[in-house]
């Protein structure tokens, strides 16, 4: 089964999309791939800070899914967000 990909911006509004994606993945028996994209134009120190924040937030967000046995994967990627999301979807 192909994974369900959810690109997140880690806002409170994206929490709802995450919950729905987890339910959909569980119901379909599909893994969930959560991605966050750091814009490639950011200075390296700011990009590193955003990476750490994103990894912590996504780990926390997926903790309940792991406990429930849901197969999940998360990645923090760099590039132009629209291009990276499209590439991951392929």
Mean pLDDT of 58-72: 80
Predicted confidence (pLDDT) per residue in 8-57, tens digit: 999 988 989 998 998 899 899 999 999 999 999 999 999 999 999 999 99
**Strand (E) positions, 1-90?**
4-7, 32-39, 72-79
**Measured distance CA(67)–CA(44) in Å, rounded:** 34
**Measured distance CA(72)–CA(66) in Å, rounded:** 7
Q: Is the pLDDT of residue 68 over 80?
A: no
pLDDT interval class at 2 (50, 70, 90): confident
**Measured distance CA(88)–CA(63) in Å, rounded:** 23
């Amino acid at each position: 089964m192909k994974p369900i990909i959810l690109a997140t911006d880690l806002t409170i509004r994206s929490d709802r999309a995450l919950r729905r994606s987890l339910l959909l993945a569980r119901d379909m028996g599909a893994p969930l791939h959560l991605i966050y994209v750091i814009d490639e134009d950011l200075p390296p120190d700011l990009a590193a800070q955003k990476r750490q924040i994103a990894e912590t937030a996504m780990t926390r967000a997926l903790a309940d899914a792991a406990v429930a046995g849901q197969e999940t994967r998360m990645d923090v990627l760099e590039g132009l967000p629209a291009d990276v999301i499209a590439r991951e979807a392929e």
